[in-house]
A and B are shown apart, each in its own frame.
Chain A
């Protein structure tokens, strides 16, 4: 266990340079922003030169790059980066939208897991059968389907034709917040009607977003499981007289090692898909907020949201690495 602790400390320390790297790229994005938005923020063509100049000053657009970098990082870290359009601190605006995106990603992830893993196991146990082939084709279709297309298709089926989902607004957040993810909080605090409302609103977008990954995950689970079950130690387990189900448990745990890695990557894919999904399903999350900000040339928001997305993804990868170390004693060194 001592090794695990040491590993954790080491891994968390590498978190820091990664975050610095992320801010560097975010800064690069901010740095190529043309000077013109200053004019737009000051009120378009009619803006007085002084107003434009004031804005340039305020956002340090005329300073050398390192000053701009420090301004940006400080702005994000202390939440003093002000949105020129709403005049709110950017992170305040994002905070309202974050739970929607996070909840969407979580629900999508759950869909991916509960469909992908059993499907993968079935096709491993029945390898080279019809089921296996169907899963393979399903996986290929999954990665080939544009999220927006599937979204509209299912809206047509479930909303236009059958009205089994809700597409307007977002249900309120529960009174007591524990995790700040409304649907989980609703469940934890026992507000079941609210939970149901959230589920009704989010299940379809969650499914659409998760769909892409299910087939890929299934294929991956299948291959990892087959790889694990053909290991020599499996034969030794049989020779020990270990019953079949327990042998599968060994194989599954061994298969989990690569699967966990792929799950981390898939979570990144899910996050990337949120802007499209939110746009299709009119969900007021970070992704659709970013898109609106682009249309309004509201660059501080784009920069901040990009940073937040990277932060979530980097954290997810951290979790993956920790899980990895918990499952596999060999990586703790």
Chain B
């Protein structure tokens, strides 16, 4: 029996905008097991980033985590991350749970050297006495993320590096404190195709080296097939299907997942919009009642419009939220 490291239950995040309340994610629940690579896939705007950020309370005004719990099994025992104070959660962020963001060009502060920025991540968690010592460690980290000539590169500013190099810096920052969970939010989207594979390889090898658990958010089903152990499919702020990679790719159950796989005959391409499924992602201020997918679903039934389908386990570890099952 695999051991869970993160148990998310009924996570709900709303954004209070002038146009109305955006119900970005509703009652999202899933488990992440120790040492695995857990993938979160879905169309753009379905709430992947919001979900991943809500895990450590990284939701800014006008957004608010309205409901839910995130049980993290730390070395000292389970804790609910959403109940922690600002200072307590800060100590976990970047230390035990670290992030890699999508756009390396925007993730780094342009006014500080990359060495400083990695050193800062180590220093704020008290693992070195000062920035100077941190920069010495940063050199090792740059070496670990395969940046050539690390002694010189630590003194570079972000604008002096290429996109791929910057993303290596961001990854380096992520692993600087040997995190137990690494959340990578579309780590390759902003990069050249040639660099994408290198970055994914790097994340994988680092995961092995540091025995980390990885939550990988991506548009790219090819990447999922290649690197993930388990997959959660999201649609309009809800999780519609969870299962192992084999289960999802060989035996997709939810009509949306099926469409998703059909729409992407070549899993290496990016999902922008689903041509095979007519219609568009609903607006999340007034989402459709019942099953949120029902306006686009080819199998829609009367019950779908009224009742919200719950996640049910169909086979071992394979969950789906659909009234067909």
| Stretch of B25-33, B118-126, B237-245, B273-281 with 4 or more beta carbons under 8 angstroms from chain A | B118-126
Task: Provide the main secondary structure of the chain A interface.
Answer: helix
How many residues of chain A get a CB closer than 8 Å to chain B's CBs?
22
Instruction: Identify which of B106, B111, B112 contacts A232 (C-beta below 8 A).
Output: B106
B99 contacts A by Cβ under 8 Å: yes
B101 near A327: Cβ-Cβ < 8 Å: no
8 Å CB interface, B88-111 against A: 90-95, 98-99, 101, 103, 106-111
Smallest distance from the beta carbon of A181 to chain B beta carbons, Å?
Answer: 31
A175 within 8 A of B: no
Specify which chain B residues have a CB less than 8 angstroms from the CB of A254 in the assembled complex: 109-111
Contact flags (1/0) for B32-56 with A, using CB distance below 8 Å? Answer: 0000000000000000000000001
A175 vs B184: C-alpha distance when bound (angstroms) = 67
Which B residue's beta carbon lies closest to that of A328? B111
Most buried by B among A233, A242, A244: A233
| The one of A238, A250, A328, A329 that contacts B58, using a Cβ cutoff of 8 Å | A238
Residue pair A233, B121 in contact (C-beta under 8 Å): no
From A231, A257, A329, give the contact of B159 (CB < 8 A): A329
Q: How far, in Å, is A261 (CB) from chain B's closest CB?
A: 15
A151 to chain B, nearest CB (A): 40
B249 CB within 8 Å of chain A? no
Q: Does A240 belong to the interface (CB within 8 Å)?
A: yes
Residues on the A chain within 8 Å of B221, using CB? none
Instruction: Say whether B173 faces chain A, with CB atoms less than 8 Å apart.
Output: yes
Q: In residues 196-235 of chain A, which contact B (Cβ within 8 Å)?
A: 231-233, 235
- Complex CA distance for A253 and B110, rounded to whole angstroms: 10
Check: B170 CB closer than 8 A to any chain A CB.
Answer: yes
Q: How far is the CA of A138 from the CA of B90 in the complex (A)?
A: 37
Residue in chain A with minimal CB distance to B102:
A232
Q: Mark B268-294, 1 if CB is under 8 A from A, else 0.
A: 000000000000000000000000000
Chain B nearest CB from A323 CB (Å) reads 13
Contact of A231 among B56, B90, B106 (CB under 8 A): B106
Report the minimal beta-carbon distance from A333 to chain B, rounded to whole angstroms. 9
How far, in angstroms, from A235 to B60 measured CA to CA in the complex?
Answer: 9
A239-B182 Cα distance, complex, nearest whole Å? 11
Q: Mark B160-189, 1 if CB is under 8 A from A, else 0.
A: 000000000010010000000000000000
* Between-chain CB contacts (< 8 Å), 23 pairs: A231-B106, A232-B106, A232-B107, A233-B108, A235-B58, A235-B60, A236-B173, A239-B58, A239-B98, A240-B93, A240-B94, A240-B98, A241-B90, A241-B93, A241-B121, A242-B124, A243-B87, A243-B90, A244-B86, A250-B112, A254-B111, A328-B110, A328-B111
User: What are the 3 tightest A-B residue pairs by CB atom distance, in nearest-first order?
Assistant: A241-B94, A232-B106, A239-B99
Given contacts A235-B60, A236-B173, 5 further A-B contacts (CB under 8 A): A236-B108, A239-B56, A239-B101, A240-B124, A241-B90
